[in-house]
Amino acid sequence: MDATILSNIASPADLKALPLEELPKLAAEMRHVICEQVQKTGGHLAPNLGVIELFIALHRVFDFPHDRLLFDVGHQCYPHKLLTGRHHLLGRLRQRHGMGGFPDPSESEQDLFMVGHAGTAISTATGMARGDTIRGEGWSPENPGGRRTVAFVGDASIVNGLAMEGLNHAGTLNRQFLVVLNDNGMSIAKPQGAVASYFDRLRVSDTYRSMKRAAKGVVKNLPGGDMLRDWGHRLGEVAKDMVTEDPWFEKFGLLHVGPIDGHDLPSLIETLATIKDVDLPIVLHAHTIKGKGFEYTENDATAFHSPKPHSVNGCRVEVKTGGRSFTAAFGDALCEILESDGTVTACTAAMPDGTGVVKALERFPERTWDTGICESHAADMMSGMAKSGLRPFFAVYSTFLQRAFDQCFQEASLQGLPLRLCLDRAGLVGGDGAVHHGFCDVSLLRTLPGAVLLAAIDEPSLRAGLEFMRRYDEGLSAIRYPRDNVDPRLESDPCPPFEYGRARVLRSTPKPDVVVMAYGVPAMTALDAAEAMQEELSVEVWDARFAKPVDEQVITQALQQGIPILTIEEHGLIGGFGSAVVEFASRTGLDAGLIQCAGLPDTWIHQGTRAEQLAEAGLDIEGIKRAIRAANARRRTDTPVVTTPTRGITTPC
């Protein structure tokens, strides 16, 4: 399909100039180009296919960026970007110098926040609405040229705790404020919880089948007493007929419009045009189909939420694969632990496929849960299970763990409870870019007294680490692993079990010039670098295994002999594994000046391939070779050599 209409859309002004009858064709073109591009590069497919008509209607009626558009779950931004002059960037979707997969103010003034976490739109929109009002720039009947505010919420993020907090405050606004609720009956996977069930009932109720209602009785019953008595005349007669009785939103002080068909462009445009000039906080509830437009995406919106590159041949869809992922390895290992230990439980927060927990949900539904998009609740729920004597595992992306840090502190670590965190997507994540990098989990969790922090380098070490955590009942523990495939090169070697605070030697040498202590998968790259430099320097490589506690014996032995140590981690340098090594050396009077640290820089790394990002961070082979040379330059020639033998671990699993 030729994108003849879309190619002429350089801004929303061009959209506004189109005849109404051309808009369905524009929507079809947008679906085609998004689907075609995601087949090549991967990306968020089903979520974007489902919101195309909503964004056409929004940009047709409102005047963004003069009006404010705030995103929740920013991965639904592709149609918005196509309508705001970024069609030319789509060919490099999620790649360097191409269209980012999330809103990005550096890409366009049409994007107000770089956002990739759920639940934020209503709160940030409330802040902008109040800010505009204070500055005299907000829309009102007395200031018709002012800025309107729209929060776009979808993929079940309305159940996020922060969204509830935002609704609670948004209901106190005495001005125009619109929440567009994209209700597609889905989260990233099937939505969970009582609110999701409520929306299911609402969609199939008489309210949806017969939307027109007299608003008089609704307004009469709204909370707030005299403050809300005047809403009826402020709405106007046309808008009154669109109000439907929904006690859930009304309890927050927002009028509820809908549910309406989120793919009916004329009705969407008419509805938005009617309610945009109402100086009240309103929720427009739009029912959409996730994956709309293609049979394979509609039928399996979870699998095609964010697929890898794939091809479609008739009814057959082939997803390109490149090996066994850490996620798949974790999913299998978790099932084995659940099988072997009846006290083990597991959960994830709306990411059963993304974390590999989907297998456990199918096999052990009585001990495995998807809590929906609510990481804080998930951490607290699992802490409660730990208090009851169970052994809970919480699988969560490193970037989303940040949202549950307070619960890890208060309800887990402070109580001495063995909450077990399995941190997928730790480190650089490729196309999702800065919003999803797992760069600070070590820095956060190292602050918790008694916490034990592990990292896996391959599948055998992941399994060994999980087994250590299963048996560790003294406090919080966490294991991190990247969004990458497992490296099979060490699978034929015996994998020693994890011993508290002990590293594992991967490459030993009698008289090393440099000792490399690598935390997690950079150990594999360090092996490659050491082999490539064997004619230049003698390099010993250790799999550090623990960031807390660090292996004090390896550090002490090297520094007492005057041998420089290079620490490597796919994590921020501030507060990370390298910092822990330096702190130990300084605390014990060892020469911390012999320690060189390599890790993620104190800058934002944007979308691209993992290989490009690792090179930018200096964590590819060439970067690690440079770091080894820099560490060697720290060597002390006047330090007495202590002839303590190198310790290796050879106990088989």
pLDDT digits (tens, 9 = 90+) for 558-596: 999 999 999 999 999 999 999 999 999 999 999 999 999
Predicted confidence (pLDDT) at residue 651 exceeds the cutoff of 80: no
Contact (CB, 8 A) for 358 and 368? no
Residue closest to 257 by CA, chosen among 273, 233, 269, 240:
240
pLDDT value of position 582: 98
Q: What is the average pLDDT across 63-83?
A: 94
pLDDT averaged over every residue in the chain: 88
Active site residues: 290, 375, 403
Any idea which of 156-165, 375-384, 398-407 has the lowest mean pLDDT? 156-165
Contact (CB, 8 A) for 432 and 102? yes
Tell me whether domains 6-10+18-295 and 326-480 share a fold: yes
Domains of the chain by residue range: 6-10+18-295, 326-480, 506-632
> What distances in angstroms separate CA 104 from CA 178, 179, 255, 306, 452, one per listed residue?
22, 21, 31, 19, 36
Please give the CATH architecture assigned to the domain spanning 6-10+18-295.
Answer: 3-Layer(aba) Sandwich (3.40)
Q: Which two structure tokens, joined as six digits, stand for 403? A: 């949202």
Q: What is the average pLDDT across 422-448?
A: 95
Q: What is the average pLDDT across 483-506?
A: 96
Predicted confidence (pLDDT) at residue 207 exceeds the cutoff of 50: no
Contact (CB, 8 A) for 255 and 228? no
User: Considering the entire predicted model, what is its pTM?
Assistant: 0.85
pLDDT value of position 23: 96
pLDDT value of position 648: 33
Q: Which two structure tokens, joined as six digits, stand for 451? A: 């916490």
Classified as helix, coil or strand, 311 is: strand
What is the CATH T-level fold of the domain 506-632, as seen in this structure? Rossmann fold (3.40.50)
Confidence of residue 612 (pLDDT cuts 50, 70, 90): very high
Residue closest to 52 by CA, chosen among 73, 83, 75, 21:
83
Q: Tell me: the pLDDT tens digits for 564-574?
A: 999 999 999 99
Top-tier CATH class for 326-480: alpha beta
pLDDT value of position 610: 94
pLDDT value of position 149: 97
Any idea which of 217-221, 373-377, 490-494 has the lowest mean pLDDT? 217-221
- Reported residue count of the chain is 653
Predicted confidence (pLDDT) at residue 638 exceeds the cutoff of 60: no
Confidence of residue 317 (pLDDT cuts 50, 70, 90): confident
Contact (CB, 8 A) for 477 and 441? no
Q: What are phi and psi of 141, to 5 degrees?
A: -55, -30
Q: Which two structure tokens, joined as six digits, stand for 512? A: 């090393």
Separation between Cα atoms, residue 183 and residue 202, nearest integer Å? 11
DSSP string, 556-580: HHHHHTT--EEEEEEEESTTSHHHH
Query: Which of 194 and 382 is assigned the larger pLDDT?
Result: 382
User: From the centroid of its chain, how far is CA 97?
Assistant: 21
